[in-house]
Structure 1
Amino acid sequence: MQFADRMNPVMNKNADPPKLLTEGRIQIAIAALAIVSIVMHLVLRFGYDSGGDVQNWPLYVAILLGGVPLVWGLLGNLFRGEFGSDLLAGMSIVTAAVLGEYLAGTLVVLMLSGGEALEAYAVQSASSVLDALSKRMPSRAHRKVDSEIEDIPLDQITIGDEIVLFPHEVCPIDGEVVEGHTVMDESYLTGEPYLMSKTPGTAVLSGAINGESAITIRAEKLAIDSRYAQIMKVMEVSSQTRPRIRRLGDQLGAFYTPVALIVAAGAWFASGDPVRFLAVLVVATPCPLLIAIPVAIIGSISLAAKRAIVIRDPAILERMDGCRTVIFDKTGTLTYGKPELTGQFVASQHDQNDLLSLVASVERYSKHPLAEAIVMAAKKSELPMKVASEIRERPGLGLVATVGAREVRITNRKTLLDETQGDAPELPPTTAGLECVVMVDGAYAATYQFRDQPRSDGASFIGHLGPQHNINRVMLLSGDRESEVRYLADKVGVTDILADQSPEQKLEIVRQETKRADTIFVGDGINDAPALMAATVGIAFGQNSDVTTEAADAVILDSSLAKVDELLHISRRMRRIALQSAVGGMAISIIAMFFAAAGYLPPVAGAITQEFIDVVAVVNALRVAIRPKSLTDF
């Protein structure tokens, strides 16, 4: 049994991913059949003197095996009162078959099945998020019983069991450390880019990644009630309630289809000749919708990929330019996701550079991000590194080492105050951000303060969203402390902030904002995944988590705000060119329809005219793949 099934036994009752997968495969198979049939037709027509009607046999197969199922499905839409460009396409398939325009009919089969396969893939992506979550979590745990260790399934863990977590393993349950000390990566939940020290008495969260030391944990919750399981449940609910996006082609087709049918029926009624009805439908075949728009989308996906942007759901290219609210997670999106040493408060008896050299000599042996920040600061100041020995990390006391004849200890404010009974006169006031306390030979030496610095282009990017992209509201949504979020907001110019938010709260906030206006959510952690799915457009930074990238509609590989701006421009440009191709092609087709209705365009001439319109529309749509001089404007 998979972890996802254990955590939520009802998760698959409504989503029905096998059905979605089957439908998508059927549409792909029909599209492949159409392609093969067209190629075989062209080979027989131009490559061999086959004679007779042999050259059309592959097209008969495509229309029979591909067109008939598509038309049958569209009839169901007709009975439900759903009118769109695909319905007119189905009528065009039938009309082409009646008129003997089998190649045109097969092309319509290809475009229709390809579009539906694309839709099936987009809808199916929600279930792949849950798959990624379940694959990340271990299926078994190491239970300790009387000095013996046994591997058991997660659902056999009971409250109070002692679970051994080996180095680099994912923690399977929520609990408390009872033996050992380590550091753990909890960024999937908290959004903080820092490793957290774990010693006896400290809490651990399911889904956190252990460091290089084994620890023993006492289970405080069942696996089904763990923090990780709760996130999975939130994800599953989000995937089921995510609104479907109405595609651009459907919106235009809702207008175009009735116009075509009215003109065709009017021509038949006025002339009494059913051939006029067929002629109008042939001219009205909505290839500018069925071909030009997908071509523009595919071209934009290609352009984005060249710019290190992966488009996972093509529908966002049609909707992004209409979004009016942008919601940012804090860490790793508007910040770099790496803490830097920003403040050194050194006791009077120590020299700042000498002490930093001393501390960096110890911290270079630590994997903690704050340690890396200290080492980088020392290197930047070109300070020498000294030999450290007797390095140890005593539970609850911090990192201790001997450098030369001096004992260096890196700990925290609480430990120092407890040991000095609150008597530390040189200790600076508490501020926002992270800090560590340095002691040398048992006496207070310094306090180092750290911040995850805002991106250098954050303020200019935020400032240009309103004037250039019609964004009415920018929000900063984070699980961090309000002081940290406020500091960043002031730096980048965001006034609307919500701090100390859990993944469930983030999800609900994004849902409410999306009800008010279409939203873009930008995040980079597993804790952002539910919100990414709930937003109209979800953008993930980097590839730090399979879950995050699966939940997102687009992934920014280079993790820069400039790439987000490029995606905004690619979307706007795609929509503009797609509308030019589709609306322009439809306008010419409507003019041609009236000529056909008047008897000036018989079916064969109408088909040729429509092919010319299609070529013009598609050639214009191909422009979208050509990179303009600039894709940013801030």
Structure 2
Amino acid sequence: MSDSPSASSSSSLWKSLETVIALFTILMIVVYLCLRYGWDVPETTQNIPLWSVLLLGGTPLVWGLLVKMVHREFGSDLLAGISIVVSVILGEYLAGSLVVLMLSGGEALEAYAVRSASSVLQALSRRMPSIAHRKTDSRIDDIALDQIQINDMIVIFPHETCPIDGTVLEGHGVMDESYLTGEPYMMSKTPGSQVLSGAINGEAALIVRAEKRAIDSRYAKIMEVMQASEQHRPRMRRLADRLGAWYTPLAVLIGIVAWVLTGDPVRFLAVMVVATPCPLLIAIPVAIIGSISLAARRAIIVRDPTSLETADTCRTIIFDKTGTLTYGEPQLTEQIYAPNMNADEVLSLVGSIERFSKHPLSQAILDAMQEARAVVHEATEISEPPGQGLKGTVNGHSVEITSRKKLLHQYPDLESQLPEQVGGLECVILIDNQYAGLYRFRDTPRTDGLSFINHLSPKHHFGRTMLVSGDRESEVRYLAEQVGIQEVYFSQSPEQKLEIVNQETAQANTIFVGDGINDAPALVAATVGVAFGQNSDVTTEAADVIVMDSSLQKIDEFLHISRRMRRIALQSAIGGMALSMLGMLLAAAGYLPPVAGAISQEVIDVLAVLNALRVALPPKALIDFKPGEPG
């Protein structure tokens, strides 16, 4: 949800006006104090600076509050408007001027707090280059970042900032990725290594193949977070407005009772001044923005600030299978060969043509081939028609790799030679049109899956953990057993996933974790949608939170950031309001006059905001389970 240009312009103008009013008010209060205590001038002359504050500063502020009342927005800042008007009526000009200072200074205080909370992101924005060096044949041309296309060869010179996410093609060196990963190490970079936008290159030049456009890079995503957090009002601020819905009438009631019982209207003014918590309730959005900054440093992109408020209240967590609880990288787990076939020879022939395939299972075969140190042969006549398998000629042998279904459609007589079909993925191998063997694959469960799942209930109070997948029953149940999940749904379409999430969310707040396009509806329907990686633009647009590094530890970190943010925000808001209530009772009893009440309230507000700023400081640890242990 974005603001219109006119709304953004009006908001910026109003913030600028409030800053001017705050500075003008400070100056006039200083002039008043000088006239009162430094020079012997009549009282009427002494009050001129305060009258100018109330006229030039108080009038536009009160008018703005009246506009809010017309739109039925009764926030706690309404108390400030009442205080200004009553102070003028009762002749308590200094108290009224201090309220004007509190009200107008709130925006300046918030802007400073936001800048402090997001200082890491601002440092990132200053470091990004404006041009890149594209290598074409023997030429190197400087181009704008938005001209970079996928597969372009980009040269990164020593000490430059990497402008894109990509893979090293040439060069050996190191990069400083600490601004993005939080790890204070120089990361080694050789051909095949992944590089991150925003990382600082070391002493050696590198040639990198762009795998994403600059606008889609990790760096760009983090910059979007910074801009959104600074330009848009975090939703949790509505909690402050809801608190104000009961706080405001209670404060007015206390003031009226004090006035009626004592007959002194100044008591009413004193209560209103102490009750004014405008900067105080700024602490909540400050806590949110600080938490967004902390999460971004941990490679967690918070697209919807509401997710920070609600994640700690979720009691059901639902996982997709592939790429979330598994690595999304199938591994060759079983090799079955025909009686007359040599295992090493078949693996060598198969691997020699799999080098030219882009099928997801190809890398698993190549990894097994490398581990076995199998011989690589020259391959010719490679063909891989869509959906028809892979064919080629290796060492004078025709080699074909296909599926069981396609094989039996072409050679139905071979069914008796094939082993029984079991869970997992498989491919069948033909050499010289004869059945040679069958390879079975499984998508490996994450090593930290079991310990992570087992700690969700005792540490984060999840009542239910569910696995919902579109895969076959055997695959889903196999994974569920590995990671310790009892509630399992398999062969689910996107529509069925959505229905399950809707049903669960109706009973309790939910978190859904997925990484595929078919997860997008479920991500939107859940209370908090968490997307792993950036495999799909659709998925990341649907998610509230994006975990840039596909890791279960990052989910744990996000849950702790959410809990910490909620705790500190409520500490700041409720703690500050409690102190204000105490001040109101003292003011009602006559122990706190209006001027002293205004100063006391200002101190309370500053303390609350400073407490909220703590969320941007990284704690010693953000995970509370040990990967690899049972939990």
Say yes or no: TM over 0.5.
yes
Residue matched to 1:105: 103
Query: What does 1:194-209 align with in structure 2 at a 5 Å threshold?
Result: none
CA contact (8 A) 2:381 2:392 kept: yes
Q: Within 5 A, what are the aligned runs for 1:342-421? A: 342-393=333-384, 397-421=388-412
Offset from partner CA, 1:137-178 (integer Å, 9 cap, x none): xxxxxxxxxxxxxxxxxxxxxxxxxxxxxx99xxxxxxxxxx
Task: Supply the distance in 2 between the matched residues of 1:509 and 1:72 (Cα, whole angstroms).
Answer: 45
Q: How does 1:141-290 map to 2 (within 5 A)?
A: 247-287=238-278, 289-290=280-281
Further displaced range: 246-255 or 463-472: 246-255
- 1:604-623 per-position Cα deviation (integer Å, ceiling 9, x unaligned): 11110001111222222222
SS of the equivalent of 2:491 reads: coil
Contact (CA 8 Å) 2:76, 2:245: kept in 1 or not? Answer: no
Relative to structure 1, is the Cα distance of residues 554 and 384 closer, same or farther in structure 2, using a 3 angstrom cutoff?
same
Alignment check: 8 A CA contact 1:63 1:105 kept: no
Q: What amino acid does structure 2 have at the position aligned with 1:100?
A: S
SS in 2 for 1:511: helix
Structure 1 residue 365: Cα displacement = 0.3
Q: How far apart, in 1, do the equivalents of 2:289 and 2:106 lie? A: 18
Residue of structure 2 equivalent to 1:302: 293
Q: Which residue of 1 aligns with 2:155?
A: none
User: 3-state SS of the aligned residue for 2:605?
Assistant: helix
Please name the residue that 1:529 is paired with. 520
The amino acid across from 1:346 in the alignment is Y
Q: Distance in 1 between matches of 2:276 and 2:307?
A: 26
Is residue 2:549 matched to residue 1:551? no
Q: Which residue of 2 aligns with 1:330?
A: 321
Shift of 1:275: 2.4
| Correspondence for 2:79 among 73, 82, 91 | 91
Q: Following the alignment from structure 1 to structure 2, what is the Cα–Cα distance between the partners of residues 512 and 62?
A: 53
Structure 2 unpaired stretches of 5+:
36-45, 89-95, 114-149, 152-234, 626-631
Q: Does 1:600 align with 2:587?
A: no
Any unmatched runs of 5+ in structure 1? 1-16, 116-166, 169-243
Structure 2 counterpart of 1:319, from 310, 313, 331:
310
Q: In structure 2, what is the Cα distance between the partners aligned to 1:422 and 1:57? A: 100
Instruction: Give the superposition deviation at 1:287.
Output: 4.1
C-alpha distance in structure 1 between counterparts of 2:30 and 2:366, whole Å: 71
Q: Is the 8 A contact 1:360 1:375 kept in 2?
A: yes
Pairwise CA distance, 1:19: 8.0
Quick one: which amino acid aligns to residue 456 of structure 1?
Answer: T
Q: Is 2:478 the counterpart of 1:487?
A: yes
1:434 to 385, 404, 425: 425
Q: Deviations over 1:394-414 (max 9, x none)?
A: 576421111111111111112
Determine the structure 2 residue equivalent to 1:73: 68
Q: 1:321-376 CA distances to partner (integer Å, 9 max, x unpaired)?
A: 11111111112111112222122112222222221121111011011111122112
CA deviation map 1:253-288 (0-9, x unaligned): 344334322212211222223322222122112247
Inter-CA distance 62–454: structure 2 relative to 1 (3 Å threshold): farther
The root-mean-square deviation of aligned C-alpha atoms, in Å, is: 3.3
Q: 1:415 to 1:43 in 2, by over 3 A?
A: farther
- Larger mean CA deviation between 388-397 and 569-578 belongs to 388-397
Match for 2:591: what amino acid? Y
Question: Using the alignment, how far apart are the partners of 2:534 and 2:22 within structure 1?
Answer: 40
**Letter aligned with residue 525 of structure 2:** A
Task: Kindly indicate whether the alpha-carbon contact (under 8 Å) linking 1:399 and 1:411 is maintained by their aligned counterparts in 2.
Answer: yes
Q: Distance in 2 between matches of 1:336 and 1:43?
A: 62
2:61, 2:81 within 8 Å by CA — same for their partners in 1? no
Alpha-carbon distance change, 432 to 67 in structure 1, aligned in 2, over 3 angstroms: farther
Describe the SS at the equivalent of 1:544. coil
- 1:401 alignment partner, SS class: strand
Whether contact under 8 Å (1:261, 1:281) holds in the other structure is yes
Q: Which amino acid aligns with 1:593?
A: M
CA contact (8 A) 1:283 1:592 kept: yes
In the alignment, structure 1 residue 34 sits paired with structure 2 residue 31: no
Q: Which residue identity lines up with residue 617 of structure 1 in the other structure? A: A
Are 2:493 and 1:496 aligned? no
- The worse-fitting range, judged by mean Cα deviation, of 51-60 and 466-475 is 51-60
Task: Identify the match of residue 464 of structure 1 among 447, 455, 464.
Answer: 455
What amino acid is aligned across from residue 73 of structure 1 in structure 2? K
Equivalent residues of 1:293, 1:578 under 8 A apart: yes
SS for the counterpart of 1:590 is helix
Alpha-carbon distance in 1 for matches of 2:108, 2:520: 34
* Cα shift at 1:246: 9.0
Contact 1:476 1:497 in 2 (8 A): yes
Q: CA deviation at 1:548?
A: 2.1
Aligned equivalents of 1:245, 1:475: Cα separation in 2: 28
Task: Provide Cα deviations, 1:445-486, integer angstroms capped at 9, x if missing partner.
Answer: 111112221111111111101000110011112222222222
Preserved CA contact (<8 Å) 1:407 1:440: yes
In the TM superposition, residue 633 of structure 1 has moved relative to its aligned partner by 0.7
Query: Residues 363 and 91 (structure 1 numbering): CA distance in 2 closer, same or farther, change over 3 Å?
Result: same
Q: Which amino acid aligns with 1:562?
A: Q
Amino acid of the structure 2 residue aligned with 1:521: F
Partners of 1:434 and 1:44 in 2: CA distance: 78
How many residues align structurally? Answer: 484
Distance 1:484 1:339 in 2: 12
Q: What's the CA shift for 1:525?
A: 2.1
CA distance in 2: counterparts of 1:498 and 1:433, whole angstroms: 17
Deviation at 1:73, TM superposition (A): 2.4
Q: 1:272 to 1:114 in 2, by over 3 A?
A: farther
Q: Which residue of 2 aligns with 1:174?
A: none
Secondary structure of the residue aligned to 1:555 is: strand
Change (3 A) 1:279 1:113: farther
Equivalent AA in structure 1 for residue 486 of structure 2:
T
In the alignment, what sits opposite 2:176? none
1:491-532 Cα offsets, whole Å, 9 max, x none, are 111111222222222222212211101111111222222222
In the TM superposition, what are the counterparts of 1:550-589 in structure 2 within 5 Å? 550-589=541-580
Distance 1:396 1:302, change over 3 A: closer
CA distance in 2, matches of 1:246, 1:290: 8
User: Deviation string for 1:30-83 (max 9, x for gaps)?
Assistant: 345434654676689899x999978998997776556634542244326xxxx6
TM normalised by structure 2 equals 0.70
> Between the two proteins, what is the percent identity of the paired residues?
54
Q: Secondary structure at the match of 1:333?
A: coil
The amino acid of 1:371's aligned partner reads S
Does the C-alpha gap of structure 1 residues 40 and 525 become closer, same or farther in structure 2, counting only changes over 3 Å? farther
Q: Is the 8 A contact 1:417 1:424 kept in 2?
A: yes
Compared with structure 1, are the counterparts of its residues 397 and 325 closer, same or farther at alpha carbon in structure 2 (3 Å cutoff)?
Answer: closer
CA contact (8 A) 1:392 1:399 kept: yes
Conservation of the 8 A alpha-carbon contact between 2:79 and 2:275: no
Moved more, 457-466 or 59-68: 59-68
Compute the displacement of 1:584 (Å). Answer: 1.7
TM-score, normalized by length of structure 1? 0.69
CA contact (8 A) 2:25 2:97 kept: no
* Partner SS state of residue 474, structure 1: strand
CA distance in 2, matches of 1:475, 1:67: 53
